[in-house]
Amino acid sequence: MVKKVTKKTITETLNEDGSVKTTIHEQPEKTIEKKPREKKMSAREREALLIENFVGLQYAMTNLSIKFGGLSDNISRLLQVFEESAKNFMEGGRPDDADLLKKINSLLDQNKTIAKGLVLMESKLRGRAEQPEVPQEEIKPRPKPLPSI
């Protein structure tokens, strides 16, 4: 149902000759729509809707419990993998570990040498007059290249 509302304003003014002048102003029409009243649910309809919602909730809970079961299985398998790797680590490493440690140590030494060289180059570039030159005796020979793995 649509209801139309108009607003009228009446203004009375006096003219120069003393007569009263009446003016009527009408504002544009506004339409107001009334919402039809919603039909109330009967007790049976409410019960049917509640039952339907409970069944949907039970379905969702069942699906969620199945997913959690799968997740717990995956986590237990992952824990088994970690346990096996920890046991293997505690029993002893591979014989290659000593060689690997030697290679890593030589890499560290090379890295230190390169870092010292970069610092010296940077100081020379910033101000040649400020820094005295490093004597040739302090520069270490280049380390040997690493063997390929």
- Each residue's pLDDT tens digit, 102-128: 888 899 999 999 998 888 888 887 776
How far apart, in whole angstroms, are the C-alpha atoms of residue 121 and residue 131? 11
**Contact at 8 Å (CB) between 25 and 11?**
yes
**Collapsed DSSP state (helix, strand, coil) of residue 104:** helix
Residue 76 has pLDDT above 80, yes or no: yes
Q: pTM, whole model, 2 decimals? A: 0.35
Per cent of the chain over pLDDT 90 is: 30
Four-CA torsion 67, 73, 77, 80, nearest 10 degrees: 140
Q: Which of 6-20, 37-51, 52-66, 69-83 has the lowest mean pLDDT?
A: 6-20
Spatial contact of 120 and 134, defined as CB atoms under 8 Å apart? yes
Q: Which of 97, 79, 100 is nearest to 89 (CA)?
A: 97
3-state secondary structure of 11: strand
pLDDT of residue 29: 66
pLDDT at 5 > cutoff 80: no
